[in-house]
Amino acid sequence: MKKIKVLGPGCKKCQTAYNNAMEAVRQVDVEADVIKIDDIEEMIKYNVLATPVLIIDEEEKVAGRVPQVKEIKELLIAQ
């Protein structure tokens, strides 16, 4: 099972990134646990400099922009 985390303070871009991750998981039909992390203390542990951040299996994949559904699907398939 993949572990996907979307880090961000709860802004619109962060919510869109989370929604795109959920949609990508649905379209690719993989087992994944998608978590939205908006707690500043938790985000600090990941050395977040710009949000949103997409992490797949504890590896940062995208930071500082909203990843599109297609891009997230490609990342999920590549792993």
Instruction: Compute CA 66 distance to the chain's CA centroid, rounded to the nearest angstrom.
Output: 9
Give catalytic status of residue 44 as yes or no.
no
Give catalytic status of residue 19 as yes or no.
no
Strand order in the sheet with 2-7: 32-37, 2-7, 53-56, 59-63
Q: Cα–Cα distance between 10 and 67 in angstroms, integer?
A: 16
Catalytic residue among 3, 10, 11, 42: 11
Catalytic residue among 6, 7, 14, 37: 14
Radius of gyration for the chain, computed over Cα atoms and rounded to the nearest angstrom: 11
Active site residues: 11, 14
